[in-house]
A and B are shown apart, each in its own frame.
Chain A
Amino acid sequence: MLRRPSSQRRTRTKEDIELLLVPILDTFVTLIAFLLAATSLLSVTLIDTPVPVVSATPPEIKQKPLSLTIKIELDRFVLSSPFNRIRKQNIDRVGDDQDFVKLHDALLAIKGKYPYEKQIVLMPSPTMEYEDIVKVMDASRRIEEGDPSLYVKEAVKDEFGEEIRDKSGSVVQEDRIVTDLFPEVVFGNILGGA
């Protein structure tokens, strides 16, 4: 007796379907071999630094910027601000190495006074090795575990990104923990100078 076509279809779907995974497996093995050969397992990262721009017209600012500058000399660090916003500090070398711990502590103290500042100007001496400059950047990048916590006041925003205001009309603020120290690095003597 002939079956109805609909019942025939139903019978066919009940059959086990086996995917042919072997060719895909072959492709994967080839891909892995290629990637292993082409990939460097070295973990690298990038530190961005913009070119300092020389402007002919002075910027219109209400307050003089901090422009925290670290002069990296062979025997010491000199922390200063061209607008005398901070007291000039010398951090001398300890033994064969520069004192990166003391530098970090000094920067932390400055960050406490100027929590919204993010930029630092580096002025290494010409003979300073690149590795030592990177170490200075590391010491000035972020607040480490064990460092005292710093907070800044930040406006509270709603889900649309609008600032929330209280009944009197003033912006509602909350404390935000500061995690970065001075992550933005600029070389101050690219155009010459000491």
Chain B
Amino acid sequence: MARVIRRRKSRHTLKKQFSLQLTSLMDALMIIVVFLLKAYGISAMGVVHTDSLQLPTSTAPEAVGEGLVVIVAKDKIYVDAEPVLEFLIDYDQDGNVTEGGSKFQLPGSEIGSALSILPVFDALKKKRDDFEILASRTDKPEAAMKKWSGDIIIQADKEVPYELLRKIMYTAGLVGFNRFRLTVEKMVE
């Protein structure tokens, strides 16, 4: 008899509707989404941490910004994620990169003047021209032209020599970019 009553009770319990309290879970998920959105905003600067691009670390205060991204990796220079120049790299007989070989060597003297780099100049000039064409097609071209910020975000590998950086900055200055924003990895304090 007792067993029958227990069985009936358990059946009764199963039939009961139960609802999950999702509110606290929603709160937690909301916090995660906000955190990820913030991190996504920073990653919008397009930083890709690979073997060929290791940023230097710095104690500089946190800052985010916009601008045309120029990446100086160990093997190539990219302008707005498009490769524009490949460095000469020494390979050994097996096809591996020679240790202690030349780094960040520009291919040939015809690449530009002593201070500028021609392929980088062409790529940056094209970006500027694109902006000017777009601005000229707006209702108020003069006002649109004034929106040119001239900001350039330089993501350079930590081993890049200053000579190469200087050439890139000089080249960018020739095109009309007037503020360089050096991207660094924030040091954990």
Contacts and interface: CB of A to CB of B under 8 A. Distances in A.
B58 A134 contact: yes
B179 A48 contact: yes
Nearest to A144: B59
Contacts of B29: 25, 28-29, 32
A131 B57 CA distance: 8
Interface in B154-189: 156-163, 165-166, 169-170, 173, 177-186, 188
Contact of B179 (A21, A22, A32, A51): A51
A47 B159 contact: no
Contacts of B58: 45, 47, 134, 137-138
Contact of A130 (B32, B156, B186): B156
Nearest to B65: A46
A91 interface: no
A125 B115 CA distance: 14
Given A25-B25, A51-B179, A126 B161 contact: yes
A131 B159 contact: yes
Interface stretch (B1-9, B42-50, B92-100, B134-142): B42-50
B49 to A, nearest CB: 5
Interface stretch (B33-41, B82-90, B124-132): B33-41
A36 B33 CA distance: 9
B14 interface: no
A141 B184 CA distance: 14
Task: Give the one of B49, B59, B62, B65 with max A CB within 10 A.
Answer: B59
Interface string B9-38: 000000000010011011001101100110
Contact of B184 (A18, A41, A47, A187): A47
Interface string B141-158: 000000000000100111
Interface in A13-28: 18, 21-22, 24-25, 28
Given A50-B179, A190-B169, A45 B161 contact: no
A129 to B, nearest CB: 5
A31 B184 contact: no
A36 B39 CA distance: 9
A129 B26 contact: no
Contacts of A32: 29, 32-33, 36
A187 B115 CA distance: 14
Contacts of B179: 48-51
B183 A46 contact: yes
Interface of B: 19, 22-23, 25-26, 29-30, 32-33, 36-37, 39-40, 42-43, 45, 47-49, 55-65, 114-115, 153, 156-163, 165-166, 169-170, 173, 177-186, 188
